[in-house]
Amino acid sequence: MNAVIVAVLIMLILSLARINVVIALIIGGIIGGFTGGLSVDQIVEVFSEGVGGGANIALSYALLGGFAVAISYTGLPNLLVDKLILLVGKRGESRHKSLPKVLIVLAILFVSCLSQNVVPVHIAFIPLLIPPLLLVMNELQLDRRLIATVITFGLTAPYILLPYGFGYLFHDTIAKNMELSGLAIDSSSIPLAMLIPTAGMVLGLVTAVFFSYRKPRQYKQVAADLAASSSAAGKVISPKDLIVTITAIVAALIVQSALESMVFSAVVGLAILFISGTVKLQDQDHLMTDGMKMMAFIGFVMIAANGFAAILTETGDVENLVSGATSLIGSNQTLGALLMLLVGLLVTMGIGSSFATIPIIAVIFVPLAVQLGFSPLATIALIGTASALGDAGSPASDSTLGPTAGLNTDGQHNHIWDTCVPTFIHYNIPLVLFGWIAAIIL
């Protein structure tokens, strides 16, 4: 039995059984390592080396959480919530009508999409924007599964299609790895190849918004952790603090874009808030603890996912999985396209990163696609879609972990059943179908 299939299935089954994702990843990795012929010592060594690679990610999210809590201390989230409450009705008479819900969903979708291409901060906006909105969303009885699918769409679809920000890095990674694997392409053709798969995600988003999660869903009115601090509760932000806070956010975004580092962007933002006196220096320990607590889940999952991926890579069964699929395909293009996408799904569901998946699958997919007679556009669609599949539905992907971190601030949103299952159904299934169509017709 292939170690990748065993490990991913164990991880997914345990996760669906509501076992903590970190534990599920560790158990899945151990069983996958044994299946792949690794000894106990090898598994421990490889896993330890792998989790070390996730240290920067964990530190990034911890500091990002601290910055988000510091922003909450300024009173800016309270200002945002107050404005939204005015928008949805002073006395609650319009809180259950459609317009306020549409405005909030569109606003979150807009910001999510901007976070990939225009202001490439990825999930950094989530702890700043989502927790303060939970009380308003509860008033509107908005289904948080809808918000999770909206955020994940914004975190995934724009960079798949558009060559800007993270999209540029994604497209450049595809082009370079395809060239290294023997097929040079013009990177300007990637948006055309990814247009049909992205249309599948649009269909999934429309289905989630207008069909799956239209009905109201009740939540308890529990003050979110981010807004629960006694220092921030009810605080009215002064004009000076408002200017400083906006400056800190803009500065953090600029550093994030220039250095591509959430660590240094968060440090710069925190420094501005502390030096200006907008956030008191004596509050730093408390807010950093609160911030780390809020983002600890996503950080530890990403660390465990690095160890999980390292074990699977060490077994060599990723290549065996692709080779096994190759032997089944023969000269059948239609079957070949489907199996290649399913292999990509298995790999990315375990690794949780589209960027990390591209080098793994391009080495095998490019010569196989050439052998089967796929056009360069079809080959791009296969590699791009296969690598993007995990981002939209994997329990270990920051595109699903990010929404959960924001929506579960008050403990009423489950990572697997409220984020991963909805995003898998609405995005992974259409991606496979539309990626398959793209490979056949391009």
Which tokens is 221 given?
């009115």
Helix axes 21-35, 40-52, angle to 10 degrees: 140
Report helix, strand and coil shares of the chain as percent, to nearest 5. 80, 0, 20
Which tokens is 81 given?
């919530």
Residue predicted with more confidence, 302 or 151: 151
Asked if the model's pLDDT at residue 233 lies above 70, the reply is no
Q: Per mean pLDDT, which range of 36-40, 113-117, 186-190 is the poorest?
A: 113-117
Supply angle C-alpha 172, 175, 180, rounded to 5.
120
Asked if the model's pLDDT at residue 101 lies above 70, the reply is yes
CB 435 within 8 A of CB 200: yes
Q: What is the total count of domains within the chain?
A: 1
User: 29-38, 62-71, 177-186: which has the highest mean pLDDT?
Assistant: 29-38
Which residues fall within 8 angstroms of residue 119, CB to CB, at 6 or more apart? 165, 253, 257
Asked if the model's pLDDT at residue 300 lies above 60, the reply is yes
Q: Can you give the pLDDT at residue 260? A: 66
Which residues fall within 8 angstroms of residue 433, CB to CB, at 6 or more apart? 200
Supply angle C-alpha 104, 388, 261, rounded to 5.
70
CA 226 to chain centre: 21
Provide, rounded to the nearest whole percent, the portion of the chain with pLDDT above 70: 80
**CA-to-CA distance for 400 and 416, rounded, in angstroms?**
9
Provide, rounded to the nearest whole percent, the portion of the chain with pLDDT above 90: 13
Q: Can you give the pLDDT at residue 249? A: 81
pTM score of the predicted model: 0.72
**CA-to-CA distance for 193 and 203, rounded, in angstroms?**
17
Q: Can you give the pLDDT at residue 225? A: 46
- Average pLDDT for 156-168: 82
Q: Can you give the pLDDT at residue 95? A: 47
pLDDT classification of 438: cutoffs 50, 70, 90: very high
- CA atoms lying within 13 Å on the CB side of residue 266: 25
Which residues fall within 8 angstroms of residue 406, CB to CB, at 6 or more apart? 126, 127, 129, 130, 131, 151
Which tokens is 15 given?
């996760």
pLDDT classification of 226: cutoffs 50, 70, 90: very low
Asked if the model's pLDDT at residue 371 lies above 80, the reply is no
Q: Per mean pLDDT, which range of 51-60, 234-243, 339-348, 388-397 is the poorest?
A: 51-60
Asked if the model's pLDDT at residue 195 lies above 90, the reply is yes
Q: Can you give the pLDDT at residue 93? A: 47
Phi, psi angle pair for 143, to nearest 5°: -70, 120
Asked if the model's pLDDT at residue 314 lies above 80, the reply is yes
Q: Can you give the pLDDT at residue 326? A: 65
Q: Work out the mean pLDDT of the chain and round it to a whole number.
A: 79
Asked if the model's pLDDT at residue 102 lies above 60, the reply is yes
Structural domain for 268, as ranges: 3-441
Q: Can you give the pLDDT at residue 165? A: 67
Kindly give the residue spans of alpha helices, DSSP state H, lying in 316-375. Answer: 317-329, 333-351, 354-372
Asked if the model's pLDDT at residue 223 lies above 60, the reply is no
